[in-house]
Structure 1
Amino acid sequence: MNKSLTTFDILGLGFMTFAFFLGAGNIIFPPLAGFLAGEHLPSAMSGFLLTAVGLPLVTLLAAAMAGGGLPTMGRYLPPLVVTIMATAIFIIIGPAFAAPRTGLVAYEMGLKPFLAHPSQFTLTLYTLVFFGVVLLLSLNQGRLLDAVGKILTPILLLLLISLAVAVFMNPQGTQPPVSEVYQAQPFVKGFIEGYNTMDTFAALMFGMLILDVLRQKGVTEKRVQSRYLAIAALIAAAGLGFVYISLFILGGTSLGVVDSANNGGEIISAYVLSLFGTPGLWILAAIVTLACLTTAVGLVSACGDYFFRLTGKLGYRRWVVIMSVLCTLVANIGLNSLIALSVPVLVAFYPVAVALVLATYLQPLMRGPVMAYRVILAVALIFGLIDGLQAAGLDMSVFHWLPMFDIGMAWVIPTAVASIVGLTLSAPKRKAAEAQA
């Protein structure tokens, strides 16, 4: 029997989705962008919001429309390609980068400011405790909605609202000057900075996770599942937009509180100390720890579920244990090193995720979706790799003639052209029939 969720359950589902997205990158990147953008803050913030809120929103809506996450959205691609894509995304968003980063940021902003002599030992001990808690919350998927959406997230939201109100009502500094990186193309720079949240990758994962939670709640009809998923996506997008705008304004009014900054964590810590004094740092520690913890739970749970489904071995619980252990190990390389390693990878593969979402929306208009999907995603991958290699420091000047190459977005126009061409392509009747079957 198909059940309906209560209003309280729907809000819990939305808050759970919001909490899964709201993590390390969401907190540390907007303040730094706001600080560096100066008078170009509105333009830079618009670009960032497009990537960090708009793309995850349309990805979840695409997942709702397709009736599932990455496997369903990629059904017109060869199964091996979908498996490789999914595995790469889950590794990036899971144990390789995003999940370990949650523990590192929680340590850097939630504990390190209170330590007289922070060391590698304290980092190791903290990550063991942090990912131990993540493991406990992730072991039983059926309790995710209750444990995350209904308990942790309301507390987190109240803390974030308190900070946001203080920033709006009592800004602590003045607007910084525009940095060189935001002089020429602030909108594009903000757009690319939004990659660092990894939320479009996360949306491809969370779509499946949310549908699993709905099934466990007794919601079995696909149309109803899609509606609830869309509502959850809108709630999450509204929450993320509120947080990002607040943090951008915080960074954009912080000159005098800080004279320079290497990361957003430094700006937030100094701003909170100026607003609330030492007790404010405890509030900040609570905000960051809850945000990172809830995101880590979502990432580890989704990764454990995916690799169990992929291999059919070990079981969900054992995969969750493996993911938690890997996250603990990777986190111990340090925050700066992890961010530096992740940037070229994100620049290279983010276009593929965007292309998949675009193809999902265009699919009803395609004459031959099998061929169209392959062309669109292949083009996005090729030109995304060019951007990624350039971001990694390799000399790619031979491609300087490509439009938008100099701003790290050489993939945009070729992917758009491939999408238009894809609408005109027709597949052989035999292959089209096989795809529909």
Structure 2
Amino acid sequence: MNKTKEVLITSFALFSLFFGAGNLILPPFLGYTSGNDWFIVTIGFAITAVLIPILGILAHAKLQGTMFDFGKKVSPLFSSIYCFLVYLIAISLPAPRTASVTHEIAIAPFFNNSTLLTSTIYFALVFVFVINRSKIIDLIGKFLTPLIGIILISIIFIGLITSPVAVSHTFLEAPIVNGILEGYQTFDAIGAVVVGAVIVISLNLKGNNTYYDRKELISKSGWIAGAGLLVIYAGLILCGSLFQSEFSEDATRIEVLTGLSNFTLGHFGTLLLSVLVALACFTTAVGIVVGTCDYVKVLFNNSQIAYIITAILSCIIGVLVGSYNVGFIIEIALPALMFIYPITIVLILLNVIPEKYASNLVFRVVVLITFIFSIPDFLKFLIPEEKIQSIIDIIPLANYSLGWLIPAFISFIFVNFYAFNMKKNI
């Protein structure tokens, strides 16, 4: 296989592994709520749903190991706990959510069956793909992604040329912050550290033996996949804002997405959207479960039995959680996201920058500060917010659920300044 073809197939696979339930239902709704501030919202959304995830892929291109390598500079114990939490969250929330979205959009309009039956069949198929591990990139990159792309581009193109002329007002108080936080709900930063490892192992299985060949392939594929995600997100957000007047003020995420497909593709759009949702969600679920199984397999000395058992347990969790509705899963995901997302973003950034700015000490201090200052962000989803409001008020950006950002940046500058001064004095 020539390099260009391999880069494209890997890019398509990455795009599909990223583009799942949240990536499909969140942008149109974000556009609907943003109205004439759609561009500002897109910038915020792109930071957490495109830029950070692609930097995560670049970090994998540099490390070429497992997710454990992302946190090992903090300490092996921290990295082990971090990996356990990320994989647990991934198989308990974003993976099952793909089954729930598939049921509500692709199955419920046509069949009167229970969500439990849908999630059971869905994860049975996921299991089949996960067991056929060595063929993942080709199956997804060659066949599934082109279908997803064609349907998405059709919805966006027709939406742009047939939409109402006027763009309405925004419902959002801080559009860029709303975009950033809604980007959390895609789980793509977490997805990057999970599926990036899937890509690395897949390339190893295919015989891409040199470090630099793999680094170049993964890096190029990451940027191409990122560009594709950005175009699709921007298009869906813009379409959501253009069709804002067509929806009621209490429209749900699912209603906006299905309405948009009907406005652009007519009644046939319902069928096409069903196919799109099923494909987009399925590829993401496969990527998450494969990533989890790969990691557990390494922990148990490349045991195939450990891989299969993990696949079975992941799919059982998927069946059970996936039987709940999308809104419920999104709601219960918020505390977990506010806890793990800031740490994940910081680990991605520290692993991408040059080594001289990312010593073990920098990792330890910045991650610790990030964790401490993100505590109010996830606590307010677990306890009455007024109990911690006095703390939130004194932390910059904490009212926007970004209280960790400035302290993490300051600690990064301070520790590097301290380290360079220590070197000069030696």
The TM-score range, normalised by the shorter chain, is over 0.9
- Are 1:326 and 2:317 matched, yes or no? yes
Shift of 1:304: 1.2
The Cα shift of 1:403 comes to: 0.7
> How far, CA to CA, are the matches of 1:270 and 1:42 in structure 2?
21
CA distance in 1, matches of 2:252, 2:178: 16
- Change in CA separation of 1:62 and 1:122 when aligned onto 2, cut-off 3 Å: same
Gap change, CA 1:125 and 1:191, over 3 Å in 2: same
2:97·2:329 contact (CA, 8 Å) conserved in 1? Answer: yes
For 1:64 and 1:129, locate their aligned partners in 2 and report how far apart those are by CA, in whole Å: 35
Q: Is the 8 A contact 1:174 1:252 kept in 2?
A: no
**Aligned residue in 2 for 1:371:** 361
Q: Return the letter of the residue paired with 2:401.
A: G
Residue aligning to 1:88: 85
Give the superposition deviation at 1:69: 4.4
Which residue is equivalent to 2:144? Answer: 152
Q: CA contact under 8 A between 1:110 and 1:289: conserved in structure 2?
A: yes
Query: Which of 218, 236, 243 is the equivalent residue of 1:247?
Result: 236
- Structure 1 match to 2:337: 346
Aligned to 1:60: 57
Q: CA deviation at 1:393?
A: 4.6
Residue 215 (structure 2) pairs with residue 222 (structure 1): no
Kindly indicate whether residue 390 of structure 2 is the aligned counterpart of residue 398 of structure 1. yes
Aligned to 1:99: 95
**Residue number among 93, 109, 112 corresponding to 2:108 in the alignment:** 112
* 2:403 is aligned with 1:421: no
Distance in 2, Cα, partners of 1:173 & 1:271: 15
For residue 157 of structure 2, what is the aligned residue in structure 1? 165
Larger mean Cα displacement after TM superposition, 330-339 or 19-28 = 330-339
Kindly state the Cα deviation for residue 265 of structure 1 after the two structures are TM-superposed. 1.7
Residue identity opposite 2:238 in structure 1? I
DSSP 3-state at the match of 2:69: helix
For residues 80-125 of structure 1, give each alpha carbon's deviation from its aligned partner in whole angstroms, at most 9, with x where no partner exists.
Answer: 11010011111112x210000001111111112234xx5xx52111
Q: Does structure 1 conserve the Cα–Cα contact (< 8 Å) formed by 2:105 and 2:258?
A: yes
Cα distance, 1:426 vs. partner? 4.7
Deviation string, structure 1 residues 122-166 (Cα, Å, up to 9, x no partner): 211111111111111111211112211111111111111111211
Kindly state the Cα deviation for residue 186 of structure 1 after the two structures are TM-superposed: 1.1
1:206 aligns with 2:203: no
The yes-or-no answer on 1:270 pairing with 2:259 is: yes
**Alpha-carbon distance, 1:263 to partner:** 2.7
TM-score with structure 1 setting the length: 0.91
Is the aligned partner of 1:289 residue 2:278? yes
Structure 1 outlier segments of 4+, above 6 Å: none
Cα drift, residue 425 of structure 1:
4.6
Distance 1:420 1:162, change over 3 A: same
Q: Does 1:357 align with 2:353?
A: no
CA distance in 2, matches of 1:33, 1:59: 24
> Aligned residue for 1:143?
135
Deviation of residue 301 (structure 1)?
Answer: 0.7
CA contact (8 A) 1:28 1:264 kept: yes
What is the TM-score when the length of structure 2 is the normalising length?
A: 0.93
CA distance in 1, matches of 2:2, 2:210: 12
Structure 2 contact 42–179 (Cα < 8 Å) conserved: yes
Question: Is the CA contact (8 Å cut-off) linking 1:373 and 1:422 kept in structure 2?
Answer: no
Q: Per the alignment, do residues 190 and 149 of structure 1 end up closer, same or farther by CA in structure 2, a change over 3 Å counting?
A: same
Q: 1:382 aligns with which of 372, 378, 383?
A: 372
Residue aligned with 1:424, SS: helix
Same amino acid, percent of matched pairs: 26
Are residues 31 and 397 of structure 1, via their aligned partners in 2, closer, same or farther at CA, if it must alter by over 3 Å? same
Deviates more, 1:412-421 or 1:391-400: 391-400
Which stretch shifts more, 166-175 or 404-413?
A: 166-175
Q: Is the 8 A contact 1:33 1:190 kept in 2?
A: yes
In structure 2, how many angstroms separate the alpha carbons of the residues matched to 1:193 and 1:69? 27
What is the aligned counterpart of 1:233 among 222, 225, 232?
Answer: 222
8 A Cα contact 2:71 2:82, kept in partner? no
Q: What is the distance in 2 between the residues matched to 1:109 and 1:207?
A: 28
Q: Report SS of the residue matched to 1:169.
A: helix
Q: Distance in 2 between matches of 1:80 and 1:379?
A: 18
> Is the Cα–Cα contact under 8 Å of residues 208 and 214 in structure 2 kept in the other structure?
yes
Partner of 2:306: 315
Residue 22 of structure 1 contacts residue 292 of structure 1 at CA under 8 Å; is this kept in 2? yes
The whole-number CA distance in structure 2 between the counterparts of 1:275 and 1:233 is: 30
Distance 1:292 1:132 in 2: 14
For 2:249 and 2:181, the matched residues in 1 are separated by 22
Note the C-alpha offset of 1:242.
1.5
Report Cα offsets for 1:22-50 as digits up to 9, x if no partner: 00000111111111111211111110111
Change (3 A) 1:162 1:202: same
**Equivalents in 2 of 1:97, 1:91: separation in Å?**
8
In 2: Cα distance, 1:58 partner to 1:71 partner: 17
Give the Cα separation in 2 of the matches to 1:316 and 1:349.
25
Per-residue CA distance 1:245-276 (angstroms, 9 max, x = gap): 11101210123421234432211211222233
Amino acid at match of 2:210: E
Aligned to 1:435: none
The separation in 2 between residues aligned to 1:256 and 1:398, in whole angstroms, is: 39
Alpha-carbon distance in 2 for matches of 1:371, 1:276: 55
Match of 1:114, SS state, is: coil
